[in-house]
Structure 1
């Protein structure tokens, strides 16, 4: 299952509210295993949820750019759990096809635009070096504002944290999630 047992029902009213507060309001999946594990620490879970929500509400990044960056981050960290959830739920919403999701995990060539190739390279550079060279910052600046580049840095860092948590807890991919490509 996972290294930490998820909070099991029946949940208290506070735990039920905390658990149901995560995720897209139109989601059709059950509460995430990750969320049920986090709810064992409700104060921390609430703090984490607020930052996660901020990356999707009143955001500066276009959904496709954000989703490609998140999927690539998850792939580079080998996080099948978070990658699978992002690919299954947010991929279609953001217009990232299943083949594109898989290519971000396998490194297979895909019909990325020039700007998307720059984005993917920028995520790779962040993972390798923890920063961007001036030429990367400037290349991203052809289509992204300073605020969008800052938000991209935050999103990549946030999902690095989430992937580290998922991998550390050894969370198995849930049935509704996209399976890691072969």
Structure 2
């Protein structure tokens, strides 16, 4: 079990509303353990959710690129929980195959496009240094607008925060999630 006990049912109306606002509206899985733990701090959780939702609802970054970037930061931080949820749910929606999801952890060569290789390197650089060189910024600009590059910075940073929460709370991978490769 996790280091933080999830909020247990029966939930108040406020807690149920907060918990059920997370995730894709078409999800078939139960509310995430992460969300049930976070709901113990509802004011902060509502603010986290708003930013996370904006990365999908008001997004300009192509879904496949966003998902690859998110999976890569999860892999770099060895966050099996968030990686497993992203790989199981968003991977198929964004057209990222199981082999590609796994390759973002293992480093296997799955024939990434030049644009995708640049993206993966950019996530690696951002995690290693906290920034991008001018060369990386320019390379990303070959296919992304300034707004999309800013969105990419925000998405990677937000998911770094989520991975830190998941790892820090020691969340176990849930049954519907993809297991960590290897």
1:4-49 superposed Cα distances (whole Å, 9 cap, x missing partner): 0000000011101000000000000000000000000111111110
Structure 1 counterpart SS, 2:58? coil
1:89 pairs with 2:96 = no
RMSD of the TM alignment (CA)? 0.4
- Residue 134 of structure 1 deviates from its aligned partner by 0.5
Task: Tell me by how many angstroms 1:58 deviates.
Answer: 1.6
Please state how far the C-alpha of 1:108 moved relative to its aligned partner. 1.1
Match for residue 154 of structure 2?
154
Q: TM-score w.r.t. structure 1 length?
A: 0.99
User: Deviation digits for residues 107-152 of structure 1, max 9, x if unmatched?
Assistant: 1111100000000000000011000001100000000000000000
Determine helix, strand or coil for the equivalent of 2:110: coil
Provide the residue aligned with 1:12 in structure 2: 12
- The correspondence of residues 6-85 of structure 1 with structure 2, limited to 5 A, is 6-85=6-85
Alpha-carbon deviation of 1:63? 0.2
**Alignment partner of 1:132: what SS?**
coil
Matched residue count: 182
Q: Which runs of 5+ in 1 are unaligned?
A: none
| Deviating 4+ runs (over 4 angstroms) | none
